[in-house]
Amino acid sequence: MPKVKVIHGPNLNLLGKREVSVYGMATLDHINEAMKAMAGRLGLELSVVQTNSESGIIDEIQAADYDLLIINPAAYTHTSIAIRDAISAVGKPVIEVHLSNIHRREEFRRRSYIAEVALGQISGFGPGSYMLALRAAAKILLEGTPHKA
């Protein structure tokens, strides 16, 4: 069974409490449970981690225990060349996810260092962004959909 890893970045552990007008009421536990259920239906093995540290994200990217990575680097999207470089170095397919549409937000949030090394970016659909990413992961891993630009 193909393995998908999900990395949630900083402050996502506060979902449901933090800026609900932007991120909604769903908690991270709720999103993770929904992802696990969908992954099972799609025939994917799912592991999920949340960390507030840049180094923790890099360590998880470098772990060799997955076939495809879904990542929401949160604020590190706009600042971390180190995360970008780790993704590039590992060479595994990556889907970037955001709950909000980063392109409709503040100017500084519109730049993603991750987008340049990801297969694609899904943003603006709240928790549904993760579900769309899982569907894309299944297409790539189970149906052999090409994943190179």
Q: Which of 76, 98, 113, 130 is catalytic?
A: 98
Q: Which of 23, 66, 113, 130 is catalytic?
A: 23
- The yes-or-no answer on residue 8 being catalytic is no
Q: What are phi and psi of 98, to 5 degrees?
A: -140, 140
Closest CA relative to residue 80, chosen from 69, 64, 96: 96
Contacts of residue 132, defined as CB under 8 A and 6 or more positions apart, other chains included, come to 122, 125
- The yes-or-no answer on residue 78 being catalytic is no
Give me the active site residues, please. 23, 98
